[in-house]
Amino acid sequence: MTQALAVVLAAGKGTRMKSDLPKVLHRLAGAPMLGHVLGAAGAAGIVRAALVVGPGMDAVGEAGLAVVPEAQVFVQSEQLGTADAVKAAAPAYEACAGPVLVLYGDTPLLRAETLKAVLGELEAGADLVVIGFEAADSTGYGRLLFDDKSRLQGIREEKDATPAERALTLCNSGIMAFRASATLSDLLSRIGNDNAKGEYYLTDAVALAHQDGLQTRVVLSNGEEVLGVNSRSELSVAEGLMQRRLRAAVMEHGTTLVAPDTVFLSYDTVVGRDVVIEPNVIMAPGVTIEDGAMIRGFCHLERARVGAGSTVGPFARLRPGAELAPGAHVGNFVEIKNAKVAEGAKVNHLTYIGDASIGPNANIGAGTITCNYDGFSKHRTEIGAGAFIGSNSSLVAPVKIGDGAYIGSGSVISKDVPDNALALTRARQEERDGWASKVRQRRSRDKSK
Protein backbone atom coordinates (compact mmCIF):
# COMPACT_ATOMS: atom_id res chain seq x y z
CA MET A 1 0.00 0.00 0.00
CA THR A 2 1.11 3.56 -0.72
CA GLN A 3 2.88 5.19 2.17
CA ALA A 4 0.45 6.11 4.95
CA LEU A 5 0.30 9.22 7.11
CA ALA A 6 -0.49 9.38 10.83
CA VAL A 7 -2.16 12.60 11.98
CA VAL A 8 -1.63 12.64 15.75
CA LEU A 9 -3.87 14.95 17.74
CA ALA A 10 -1.92 16.29 20.72
CA ALA A 11 -3.38 19.75 21.40
CA GLY A 12 -5.18 18.87 24.65
CA LYS A 13 -3.99 20.77 27.71
CA GLY A 14 -4.87 17.95 30.09
CA THR A 15 -6.30 20.16 32.84
CA ARG A 16 -7.24 17.08 34.89
CA MET A 17 -3.55 16.18 35.14
CA LYS A 18 -3.06 19.29 37.32
CA SER A 19 0.31 19.87 35.69
CA ASP A 20 2.34 22.51 33.87
CA LEU A 21 3.51 19.74 31.55
CA PRO A 22 1.37 19.09 28.45
CA LYS A 23 -0.62 15.91 28.91
CA VAL A 24 0.98 13.90 26.10
CA LEU A 25 4.45 14.50 27.55
CA HIS A 26 3.73 12.69 30.80
CA ARG A 27 5.83 9.55 30.84
CA LEU A 28 4.89 5.92 30.71
CA ALA A 29 7.62 3.27 31.08
CA GLY A 30 10.20 6.03 30.67
CA ALA A 31 8.87 7.64 27.47
CA PRO A 32 6.29 10.37 26.81
CA MET A 33 2.85 9.07 25.90
CA LEU A 34 3.23 10.76 22.52
CA GLY A 35 6.39 8.76 21.91
CA HIS A 36 4.55 5.48 22.47
CA VAL A 37 1.89 6.44 19.92
CA LEU A 38 4.45 7.45 17.29
CA GLY A 39 6.42 4.30 18.05
CA ALA A 40 3.38 2.10 17.44
CA ALA A 41 2.70 3.88 14.16
CA GLY A 42 6.30 3.43 13.06
CA ALA A 43 6.25 -0.27 14.00
CA ALA A 44 3.15 -0.63 11.82
CA GLY A 45 5.03 0.82 8.85
CA ILE A 46 3.52 4.31 9.07
CA VAL A 47 6.63 6.42 8.70
CA ARG A 48 5.04 9.79 7.93
CA ALA A 49 3.53 11.84 10.76
CA ALA A 50 1.77 15.15 11.29
CA LEU A 51 1.40 16.46 14.84
CA VAL A 52 -1.41 18.82 15.81
CA VAL A 53 -0.52 20.81 18.92
CA GLY A 54 -2.01 23.73 20.78
CA PRO A 55 -0.64 27.28 20.94
CA GLY A 56 2.54 27.53 22.98
CA MET A 57 3.11 23.76 22.94
CA ASP A 58 6.53 23.85 21.31
CA ALA A 59 7.74 21.16 23.69
CA VAL A 60 5.17 18.73 22.29
CA GLY A 61 6.36 19.34 18.75
CA GLU A 62 9.98 18.89 19.82
CA ALA A 63 9.14 15.60 21.55
CA GLY A 64 7.45 14.35 18.39
CA LEU A 65 10.36 15.36 16.19
CA ALA A 66 12.71 13.49 18.51
CA VAL A 67 10.89 10.29 17.52
CA VAL A 68 10.03 11.14 13.89
CA PRO A 69 12.49 13.81 12.69
CA GLU A 70 10.63 14.29 9.40
CA ALA A 71 7.27 14.91 11.08
CA GLN A 72 5.33 18.09 10.37
CA VAL A 73 3.95 20.13 13.26
CA PHE A 74 0.73 22.15 13.02
CA VAL A 75 -1.00 24.40 15.54
CA GLN A 76 -4.75 24.23 16.24
CA SER A 77 -5.40 27.85 17.21
CA GLU A 78 -8.76 27.13 18.88
CA GLN A 79 -10.06 23.88 20.28
CA LEU A 80 -13.28 23.49 18.33
CA GLY A 81 -13.41 19.69 18.22
CA THR A 82 -11.60 16.75 16.69
CA ALA A 83 -12.62 17.50 13.10
CA ASP A 84 -11.27 21.02 13.46
CA ALA A 85 -8.04 19.61 14.89
CA VAL A 86 -7.58 17.31 11.89
CA LYS A 87 -8.18 20.22 9.51
CA ALA A 88 -5.15 21.96 11.04
CA ALA A 89 -3.00 19.27 9.40
CA ALA A 90 -4.54 19.80 5.95
CA PRO A 91 -1.22 20.62 4.22
CA ALA A 92 0.11 17.23 5.30
CA TYR A 93 -2.82 14.99 4.39
CA GLU A 94 -3.68 16.84 1.18
CA ALA A 95 -0.17 16.05 -0.04
CA CYS A 96 -0.55 12.38 0.93
CA ALA A 97 -1.35 9.88 -1.81
CA GLY A 98 -1.93 7.04 0.63
CA PRO A 99 -4.13 6.32 3.65
CA VAL A 100 -4.51 8.78 6.51
CA LEU A 101 -4.88 7.56 10.10
CA VAL A 102 -6.06 9.87 12.86
CA LEU A 103 -4.46 8.93 16.19
CA TYR A 104 -4.39 10.50 19.64
CA GLY A 105 -1.31 11.39 21.64
CA ASP A 106 -2.87 10.22 24.91
CA THR A 107 -3.48 6.56 23.95
CA PRO A 108 -0.02 5.14 24.74
CA LEU A 109 -1.04 1.48 24.83
CA LEU A 110 -2.03 1.34 21.16
CA ARG A 111 -0.39 -1.66 19.45
CA ALA A 112 1.23 -1.80 16.03
CA GLU A 113 -0.68 -5.02 15.29
CA THR A 114 -4.00 -3.19 15.53
CA LEU A 115 -2.83 -0.43 13.20
CA LYS A 116 -1.67 -3.08 10.75
CA ALA A 117 -5.18 -4.58 10.86
CA VAL A 118 -6.62 -1.15 10.04
CA LEU A 119 -4.27 -0.77 7.09
CA GLY A 120 -5.28 -4.25 5.96
CA GLU A 121 -8.96 -3.28 5.90
CA LEU A 122 -8.18 -0.17 3.86
CA GLU A 123 -6.14 -2.21 1.42
CA ALA A 124 -9.03 -4.66 1.14
CA GLY A 125 -11.36 -1.88 -0.05
CA ALA A 126 -12.68 -0.05 3.01
CA ASP A 127 -12.95 3.71 2.61
CA LEU A 128 -13.17 4.46 6.32
CA VAL A 129 -12.18 2.30 9.30
CA VAL A 130 -12.93 2.88 12.97
CA ILE A 131 -11.26 1.06 15.86
CA GLY A 132 -13.97 -0.07 18.26
CA PHE A 133 -14.07 -1.98 21.52
CA GLU A 134 -16.56 -3.65 23.83
CA ALA A 135 -16.84 -1.77 27.13
CA ALA A 136 -18.01 -3.24 30.41
CA ASP A 137 -18.94 0.32 31.35
CA SER A 138 -19.61 2.42 28.25
CA THR A 139 -20.24 5.66 30.16
CA GLY A 140 -18.62 8.60 28.40
CA TYR A 141 -17.87 6.83 25.13
CA GLY A 142 -19.40 7.33 21.71
CA ARG A 143 -21.44 4.33 20.54
CA LEU A 144 -21.02 2.57 17.19
CA LEU A 145 -24.28 2.35 15.24
CA PHE A 146 -25.04 -0.15 12.47
CA ASP A 147 -27.74 -0.33 9.80
CA ASP A 148 -30.00 -3.32 9.17
CA LYS A 149 -27.29 -4.84 6.98
CA SER A 150 -24.75 -4.67 9.82
CA ARG A 151 -22.84 -1.87 8.14
CA LEU A 152 -21.36 0.86 10.29
CA GLN A 153 -23.59 3.85 9.77
CA GLY A 154 -22.62 6.31 12.46
CA ILE A 155 -21.16 7.16 15.85
CA ARG A 156 -23.26 8.83 18.48
CA GLU A 157 -21.60 10.80 21.27
CA GLU A 158 -23.10 10.00 24.66
CA LYS A 159 -24.49 13.51 25.23
CA ASP A 160 -26.42 13.26 21.97
CA ALA A 161 -27.47 9.59 22.30
CA THR A 162 -30.95 8.24 22.95
CA PRO A 163 -31.49 5.88 25.93
CA ALA A 164 -31.46 2.92 23.54
CA GLU A 165 -28.20 4.03 21.99
CA ARG A 166 -26.64 4.56 25.41
CA ALA A 167 -27.43 0.94 26.23
CA LEU A 168 -25.05 -0.20 23.46
CA THR A 169 -21.64 -1.51 24.57
CA LEU A 170 -19.65 -1.38 21.32
CA CYS A 171 -17.79 1.91 21.66
CA ASN A 172 -15.66 4.23 19.62
CA SER A 173 -11.95 4.51 20.46
CA GLY A 174 -11.68 7.75 18.53
CA ILE A 175 -9.08 6.30 16.16
CA MET A 176 -10.17 6.51 12.55
CA ALA A 177 -8.54 5.86 9.17
CA PHE A 178 -9.31 6.93 5.60
CA ARG A 179 -8.19 5.14 2.46
CA ALA A 180 -7.72 8.38 0.54
CA SER A 181 -6.96 11.93 1.63
CA ALA A 182 -9.54 13.20 -0.86
CA THR A 183 -12.22 11.28 1.03
CA LEU A 184 -11.05 12.77 4.32
CA SER A 185 -11.01 16.31 2.91
CA ASP A 186 -14.52 15.97 1.45
CA LEU A 187 -16.00 14.57 4.66
CA LEU A 188 -14.34 17.21 6.84
CA SER A 189 -15.73 20.00 4.67
CA ARG A 190 -19.29 18.79 5.38
CA ILE A 191 -19.08 18.25 9.15
CA GLY A 192 -21.11 20.76 11.16
CA ASN A 193 -21.34 21.59 14.84
CA ASP A 194 -25.03 21.02 15.53
CA ASN A 195 -24.55 19.05 18.72
CA ALA A 196 -24.69 19.47 22.48
CA LYS A 197 -21.16 20.87 22.72
CA GLY A 198 -21.21 22.96 19.58
CA GLU A 199 -18.04 21.30 18.33
CA TYR A 200 -16.99 19.74 15.04
CA TYR A 201 -16.85 15.99 15.64
CA LEU A 202 -14.65 13.82 13.46
CA THR A 203 -17.02 10.99 14.32
CA ASP A 204 -19.69 12.62 12.12
CA ALA A 205 -17.58 11.55 9.13
CA VAL A 206 -18.91 8.01 9.56
CA ALA A 207 -22.55 8.96 8.97
CA LEU A 208 -21.60 11.10 5.98
CA ALA A 209 -19.53 8.28 4.49
CA HIS A 210 -22.39 5.81 5.00
CA GLN A 211 -24.82 8.19 3.30
CA ASP A 212 -22.42 8.45 0.34
CA GLY A 213 -22.35 4.68 -0.02
CA LEU A 214 -18.72 4.37 1.01
CA GLN A 215 -17.48 1.22 2.72
CA THR A 216 -17.21 1.77 6.46
CA ARG A 217 -15.71 -0.94 8.66
CA VAL A 218 -14.71 -1.62 12.25
CA VAL A 219 -11.53 -3.17 13.59
CA LEU A 220 -12.07 -4.53 17.09
CA SER A 221 -9.60 -3.85 19.86
CA ASN A 222 -9.85 -4.02 23.63
CA GLY A 223 -10.51 -1.27 26.12
CA GLU A 224 -7.03 -1.48 27.61
CA GLU A 225 -5.27 -0.87 24.32
CA VAL A 226 -7.24 2.27 23.45
CA LEU A 227 -7.36 3.66 26.99
CA GLY A 228 -7.14 7.45 26.89
CA VAL A 229 -5.16 9.01 29.72
CA ASN A 230 -6.69 12.18 31.16
CA SER A 231 -5.65 12.14 34.83
CA ARG A 232 -2.87 11.00 37.11
CA SER A 233 -5.03 8.09 38.21
CA GLU A 234 -5.51 6.94 34.61
CA LEU A 235 -1.79 7.39 34.01
CA SER A 236 -1.07 5.00 36.87
CA VAL A 237 -3.52 2.49 35.41
CA ALA A 238 -1.82 2.76 32.02
CA GLU A 239 1.61 2.34 33.65
CA GLY A 240 0.45 -0.87 35.30
CA LEU A 241 -0.87 -2.22 32.01
CA MET A 242 2.30 -1.26 30.16
CA GLN A 243 4.50 -2.89 32.79
CA ARG A 244 2.48 -6.08 32.59
CA ARG A 245 2.99 -6.09 28.82
CA LEU A 246 6.75 -5.44 29.09
CA ARG A 247 7.25 -8.08 31.79
CA ALA A 248 5.38 -10.67 29.74
CA ALA A 249 7.58 -9.93 26.73
CA VAL A 250 10.90 -10.41 28.54
CA MET A 251 9.71 -13.58 30.27
CA GLU A 252 8.52 -14.97 26.94
CA HIS A 253 12.04 -14.45 25.57
CA GLY A 254 13.77 -16.33 28.37
CA THR A 255 14.16 -14.04 31.37
CA THR A 256 13.25 -15.08 34.91
CA LEU A 257 11.50 -12.42 36.98
CA VAL A 258 11.42 -13.75 40.53
CA ALA A 259 8.65 -11.33 41.57
CA PRO A 260 7.35 -9.79 38.32
CA ASP A 261 5.07 -7.19 39.90
CA THR A 262 8.05 -5.59 41.66
CA VAL A 263 10.23 -5.20 38.56
CA PHE A 264 9.78 -2.03 36.52
CA LEU A 265 11.01 -1.92 32.93
CA SER A 266 11.32 0.87 30.39
CA TYR A 267 9.97 0.94 26.87
CA ASP A 268 13.45 0.19 25.45
CA THR A 269 14.81 -2.28 28.04
CA VAL A 270 16.68 -5.13 26.33
CA VAL A 271 17.10 -8.35 28.31
CA GLY A 272 18.81 -11.50 27.04
CA ARG A 273 18.14 -15.17 27.67
CA ASP A 274 18.68 -16.87 31.02
CA VAL A 275 18.85 -13.55 32.84
CA VAL A 276 17.52 -13.61 36.41
CA ILE A 277 16.08 -10.43 37.89
CA GLU A 278 15.29 -10.51 41.59
CA PRO A 279 12.59 -8.41 43.32
CA ASN A 280 12.42 -4.61 43.48
CA VAL A 281 14.56 -3.75 40.47
CA ILE A 282 14.02 -0.61 38.36
CA MET A 283 15.21 -0.26 34.77
CA ALA A 284 15.20 3.35 33.61
CA PRO A 285 15.60 3.97 29.85
CA GLY A 286 18.62 2.78 27.92
CA VAL A 287 19.40 -0.51 29.72
CA THR A 288 20.74 -3.65 28.05
CA ILE A 289 21.31 -6.86 30.00
CA GLU A 290 23.07 -9.65 28.17
CA ASP A 291 22.54 -13.41 28.43
CA GLY A 292 23.00 -15.14 31.77
CA ALA A 293 23.41 -12.03 33.90
CA MET A 294 22.06 -11.82 37.44
CA ILE A 295 20.44 -8.63 38.73
CA ARG A 296 19.92 -9.00 42.46
CA GLY A 297 17.24 -7.23 44.47
CA PHE A 298 16.79 -3.49 44.97
CA CYS A 299 18.98 -2.31 42.07
CA HIS A 300 18.48 0.75 39.87
CA LEU A 301 19.90 0.83 36.33
CA GLU A 302 19.83 3.66 33.80
CA ARG A 303 21.50 3.90 30.37
CA ALA A 304 23.80 1.06 31.31
CA ARG A 305 24.99 -2.23 29.80
CA VAL A 306 25.47 -5.43 31.79
CA GLY A 307 27.62 -8.04 30.08
CA ALA A 308 26.85 -11.73 29.79
CA GLY A 309 27.20 -13.66 33.01
CA SER A 310 27.76 -10.56 35.14
CA THR A 311 26.29 -10.06 38.58
CA VAL A 312 24.86 -6.78 39.88
CA GLY A 313 23.68 -6.01 43.39
CA PRO A 314 21.88 -6.28 45.66
CA PHE A 315 21.33 -2.55 46.31
CA ALA A 316 23.54 -1.41 43.41
CA ARG A 317 23.10 1.59 41.17
CA LEU A 318 24.32 1.69 37.57
CA ARG A 319 24.13 5.24 36.26
CA PRO A 320 24.44 6.46 32.64
CA GLY A 321 27.56 5.24 30.91
CA ALA A 322 28.11 2.21 33.14
CA GLU A 323 29.41 -0.72 31.07
CA LEU A 324 30.07 -4.12 32.59
CA ALA A 325 31.98 -6.64 30.51
CA PRO A 326 31.08 -10.34 30.66
CA GLY A 327 31.69 -11.90 34.05
CA ALA A 328 32.07 -8.63 35.96
CA HIS A 329 30.84 -8.36 39.54
CA VAL A 330 29.24 -5.28 41.08
CA GLY A 331 28.00 -5.82 44.60
CA ASN A 332 25.97 -4.25 47.37
CA PHE A 333 25.82 -0.47 47.78
CA VAL A 334 28.07 0.15 44.78
CA GLU A 335 27.50 3.02 42.35
CA ILE A 336 28.98 3.00 38.84
CA LYS A 337 28.79 6.06 36.56
CA ASN A 338 30.37 6.63 33.14
CA ALA A 339 32.79 3.80 33.76
CA LYS A 340 33.85 0.53 32.17
CA VAL A 341 34.37 -2.56 34.30
CA ALA A 342 36.31 -5.18 32.34
CA GLU A 343 35.85 -8.93 32.26
CA GLY A 344 36.25 -10.65 35.59
CA ALA A 345 36.75 -7.41 37.55
CA LYS A 346 35.11 -7.15 40.99
CA VAL A 347 33.64 -4.10 42.70
CA ASN A 348 31.78 -5.79 45.49
CA HIS A 349 31.12 -3.46 48.42
CA LEU A 350 30.29 0.12 49.36
CA THR A 351 32.14 1.76 46.49
CA TYR A 352 31.80 4.66 44.05
CA ILE A 353 33.36 4.29 40.60
CA GLY A 354 32.87 7.35 38.38
CA ASP A 355 34.55 8.40 35.13
CA ALA A 356 36.85 5.40 35.25
CA SER A 357 38.03 2.24 33.57
CA ILE A 358 38.78 -0.94 35.49
CA GLY A 359 40.95 -3.56 33.85
CA PRO A 360 40.31 -7.31 33.62
CA ASN A 361 40.35 -9.22 36.89
CA ALA A 362 41.06 -6.13 38.98
CA ASN A 363 39.72 -6.18 42.53
CA ILE A 364 38.32 -3.03 44.10
CA GLY A 365 38.11 -3.15 47.90
CA ALA A 366 35.21 -2.00 50.04
CA GLY A 367 34.81 1.72 50.51
CA THR A 368 36.93 2.73 47.52
CA ILE A 369 36.14 6.11 45.95
CA THR A 370 37.27 7.51 42.62
CA CYS A 371 37.48 11.24 43.34
CA ASN A 372 36.50 12.34 39.85
CA TYR A 373 35.25 15.91 40.39
CA ASP A 374 37.37 18.86 41.48
CA GLY A 375 34.51 21.33 41.73
CA PHE A 376 34.92 22.45 38.12
CA SER A 377 35.65 19.48 35.85
CA LYS A 378 35.40 15.70 35.77
CA HIS A 379 38.60 13.64 35.52
CA ARG A 380 39.24 9.96 34.78
CA THR A 381 40.75 7.17 36.80
CA GLU A 382 42.39 4.22 35.03
CA ILE A 383 42.90 0.96 36.93
CA GLY A 384 44.97 -1.69 35.19
CA ALA A 385 44.46 -5.39 34.71
CA GLY A 386 44.82 -7.45 37.86
CA ALA A 387 45.30 -4.42 40.09
CA PHE A 388 44.28 -4.63 43.74
CA ILE A 389 42.77 -1.58 45.42
CA GLY A 390 42.70 -1.95 49.19
CA SER A 391 39.62 -1.07 51.21
CA ASN A 392 38.81 2.53 52.07
CA SER A 393 41.10 3.97 49.38
CA SER A 394 40.56 7.27 47.58
CA LEU A 395 41.87 7.61 44.03
CA VAL A 396 42.18 11.30 43.18
CA ALA A 397 41.71 11.73 39.44
CA PRO A 398 43.29 12.15 37.01
CA VAL A 399 45.30 9.13 38.05
CA LYS A 400 46.43 5.83 36.57
CA ILE A 401 46.97 2.62 38.54
CA GLY A 402 49.19 0.21 36.57
CA ASP A 403 48.61 -3.44 35.76
CA GLY A 404 49.09 -5.66 38.80
CA ALA A 405 49.64 -2.67 41.10
CA TYR A 406 48.69 -2.91 44.78
CA ILE A 407 47.15 -0.04 46.73
CA GLY A 408 47.34 -0.36 50.50
CA SER A 409 44.09 0.01 52.43
CA GLY A 410 43.22 3.49 53.60
CA SER A 411 45.44 5.22 51.04
CA VAL A 412 44.80 8.48 49.22
CA ILE A 413 46.43 8.12 45.80
CA SER A 414 46.99 11.31 43.82
CA LYS A 415 49.91 10.25 41.58
CA ASP A 416 50.19 7.52 38.95
CA VAL A 417 51.27 4.09 40.25
CA PRO A 418 53.52 1.94 37.99
CA ASP A 419 52.76 -1.63 37.03
CA ASN A 420 53.18 -4.14 39.86
CA ALA A 421 54.14 -1.43 42.38
CA LEU A 422 52.87 -1.02 45.94
CA ALA A 423 51.50 2.38 46.89
CA LEU A 424 50.29 3.41 50.32
CA THR A 425 49.98 6.82 51.92
CA ARG A 426 48.74 6.23 55.46
CA ALA A 427 50.89 7.37 58.38
CA ARG A 428 53.08 4.93 60.32
CA GLN A 429 51.25 3.25 63.21
CA GLU A 430 52.36 4.27 66.69
CA GLU A 431 51.68 2.49 70.01
CA ARG A 432 51.88 3.92 73.57
CA ASP A 433 51.78 1.26 76.26
CA GLY A 434 49.30 1.90 79.10
CA TRP A 435 47.95 5.11 77.54
CA ALA A 436 44.29 3.98 77.61
CA SER A 437 44.40 2.96 81.28
CA LYS A 438 45.96 6.28 82.32
CA VAL A 439 43.31 8.29 80.44
CA ARG A 440 40.44 6.30 81.96
CA GLN A 441 41.84 6.80 85.48
CA ARG A 442 42.24 10.54 84.97
CA ARG A 443 38.71 10.96 83.64
CA SER A 444 37.32 8.90 86.52
CA ARG A 445 39.02 11.24 89.04
CA ASP A 446 37.67 14.30 87.20
CA LYS A 447 34.08 12.96 87.40
CA SER A 448 34.37 12.30 91.16
CA LYS A 449 35.26 15.91 91.98
SS (H, E, C) the chain: CCCCEEEEECCCCCHHHCCCCCHHHCEECCEEHHHHHHHHHHHCCCCEEEEEECCCCHHHHHHHHHHCCCCEEEECCCCCCHHHHHHCCHHHHHCCCCCEEEEECCCCCCCHHHHHHHHHHHHCCCCEEEEEEECCCCCCCCEEEECCCCCEEEEECHHHCCHHHHCCCEEEEEEEEECCHHHHHHHHHCCCCCCCCCCCCCCHHHHHHHHCCCCEEEEEECCCCCCCCCCHHHHHHHHHHHHHHHHHHHHHCCCEECCHHHCECCCCCEECCCCEECCCCEECCCCEECCCCEECCCCEECCCEECCCCEECCCCEECCCCEECCCCEEEECCEEEEEEECCCCEEEECCEEEEEEECCCCEECCCCEEECECCCCECCEEECCCCEECCCCEEECCEEECCCCEECCCCEECCCECCCCEECCCCCCCCCCCHHHHHHHHHHHHHHC
Q: Is 36 a catalytic residue?
A: no
Backbone φ and ψ of 173, nearest 5°: -80, -20
From the list 26, 36, 253, 349, the catalytic residue is 349
Is the four-CA dihedral 188, 192, 193, 194 of positive or negative sign? negative
Whole-angstrom distance, CA of residue 13 vs CA of residue 26: 12
- Tell me whether residue 166 is exposed, middle or buried, using C-beta atoms within 10 angstroms of its C-beta: 0 to 12, 13 to 18, 19 or more: middle
Positions marked catalytic: 349
